[in-house]
Structure 1
């Protein structure tokens, strides 16, 4: 899926860093052979952006999204941030308000951002 997304957006794999704590040595080897930069340190989503950056975070935990928002919580950084991942609105609707605000305050406060759902297609569409 990531390769298709990069191809569609005309982003070379060499401009893409990847990390998953469950990557095996074989996974890392294949990804490097494809041209990706494989990160070795778990940044826990705390990566600052200095240029337009797309984060492909399919089905990640709330803490990862919250950390990414926290690290980039300025108008300048947020304008450079694109996240392909879970719906913040859905997270907000499924959680108790006080727990969301206490544990995931940046997801709680993210409602002012421009959020554009992506339509997904299946073979029958």
Structure 2
């Protein structure tokens, strides 16, 4: 249903194996670790620990990104 937006990648420090197994057949990639957004990206990060926001900004807050 979301093919018009491209890839859907999911990262959550609290994601369970069951949730990961559910997301994969729906066309989502479950990620681990830090990532750089190398193309226009929407991040949905409601109510995250401050460390997740800090990690995200450290990886992506650059003039060339």
Identify the TM-score tier after normalising by the shorter chain.
Answer: 0.7 to 0.9
Asked if 1:60 is matched to 2:48, the reply is yes
Quote the residue 1:75 is aligned against.
63
How large is the Cα RMSD of the aligned pairs? 2.1
**Higher normalized contact order (CA 8 Å, seq sep 6+, divided by chain length):** 2
Unaligned runs of 5+ in 1: 78-125
Distance in structure 2 (CA, Å) of the matches to 1:68 and 1:22: 16
Q: What is the number of residues matched between the two proteins?
A: 65
* Secondary structure in 1 matching 2:19: helix
Q: TM-score by structure 2 length?
A: 0.77
**Higher percent of residues as helix:** 1
Larger Rg: 1
- Structure 2 residue ranges without an equivalent (≥5): none
User: Aligned residue for 1:47?
Assistant: 35
